Amino acid sequence: MSYRATPVADDAPEKITVKGLDFFYGDFHALTDISVGIKEKAVTAFIGPSGCGKSTFLRCFNRMNDLIPGTRAEGTITLDGQDIYATGVDPVDLRRRIGMIFQQPNPFPMSIYDNVAFGPRLQGIKKTELDEIVQTSLERANLWKETKDILGRNGLALSGGQQQRLCIARVLAVEPEVMLMDEPCSAIDPTSVQKIEDLMDELKDRITIIIVTHNMQQAARVSDFTAFFLQEVAGEAAVLVEYDRTPNIFTSPKDRRTEDYITGRFG
């Protein structure tokens, strides 16, 4: 993995802007007053102890939380300046623009080819173009060399690390602008972790990546920006404690709570 030789410019545009977001699971107030600007074509990491709401926050970006009854979000989240919670926004279209990778690789029980072609087919892409999309997506996910001769094999026959890259290829096939990654490396072996981290570094030339990770070394290695979330009192809403460039967070955090968490003094 190449070290971040060129830091993201201060005036780089924000792909996603969150203002005064509060989130509720029924009566439970999970997140309070979160405001943050996610820079375009950069990797942003969300860190914090278990239960601090970082995954909940991540799922707000593609409205995955809508699928859970009784949830509601207040405040605004804009993608390229457009409110994603506005009436008329199609969540399905939103989830094409903002793809998601989960902790557990979840290929469909179908061939490698069909896994990648699944999204483009739904979009009505013609058969003649599919081959090229499948190849390009697998190449961009660094999985082409390993699978080009076994495209007809079931995706579930691949190793865990390969399955995760297959899921990344499946997301890339529909040309997303943002990729959300929720603990993408916690269920796979170290070599595959390395491959996925390398991949993130390559992909950020084209897309914006947000990763939730419990592994702080990983956050430090892969991200340009880091946001630290904390639920200070059990049962109360979590807050965004600090958001800054990753090297600043890991050398000179400004907030004592961030400092105590990343140095292992709690959490």
Binding site for another protein (CB under 8 A): 216-217, 220, 250-253, 258-259, 262-264
What is the spatial distance between Cα 32 and Cα 21, in angstroms, rounded to a whole number? Answer: 6
Q: Answer yes or no: are the C-beta atoms of 210 and 61 closer than 8 Å.
A: yes
**Cβ count within 10 A of residue 151:** 18
Q: Tell me how far CA of residue 107 lies from CA of 26, 155, 158, 242, in angstroms.
A: 31, 6, 10, 35
CB of 194 to another protein, least distance (A): 16
What is the spatial distance between Cα 243 and Cα 97, in angstroms, rounded to a whole number? Answer: 24
Residue with Cβ nearer another protein (61 or 250): 250
Residue with Cβ nearer another protein (1 or 157): 1
Cβ neighbours of residue 9 closer than 8 Å, sequence gap 6 or more: none
Cβ neighbours of residue 162 closer than 8 Å, sequence gap 6 or more: 143, 146, 147, 192
CB of 11 to another protein, least distance (A): 22
CB of 36 to another protein, least distance (A): 21
**Ramachandran class of 29: left when φ > 0, alpha when ψ lies in -120 to 50, beta otherwise:** beta
CB of 70 to another protein, least distance (A): 38
SS3 149: coil
Residue with Cβ nearer another protein (120 or 253): 253
Residue with Cβ nearer another protein (172 or 216): 216
Structure token digits, residue 75: 């405040």
CB of 34 to another protein, least distance (A): 23
What is the spatial distance between Cα 172 and Cα 178, in angstroms, rounded to a whole number? Answer: 10
CB of 127 to another protein, least distance (A): 50
Residue with Cβ nearer another protein (78 or 215): 215
Nearest to 213 by CA among 246, 176, 238: 246
CB of 253 to another protein, least distance (A): 5
Cβ neighbours of residue 136 closer than 8 Å, sequence gap 6 or more: none
Residue with Cβ nearer another protein (123 or 263): 263
Q: Answer yes or no: are the C-beta atoms of 85 and 77 closer than 8 Å.
A: yes
Residue with Cβ nearer another protein (83 or 197): 197
DSSP 8-state assignment for residue 154: B
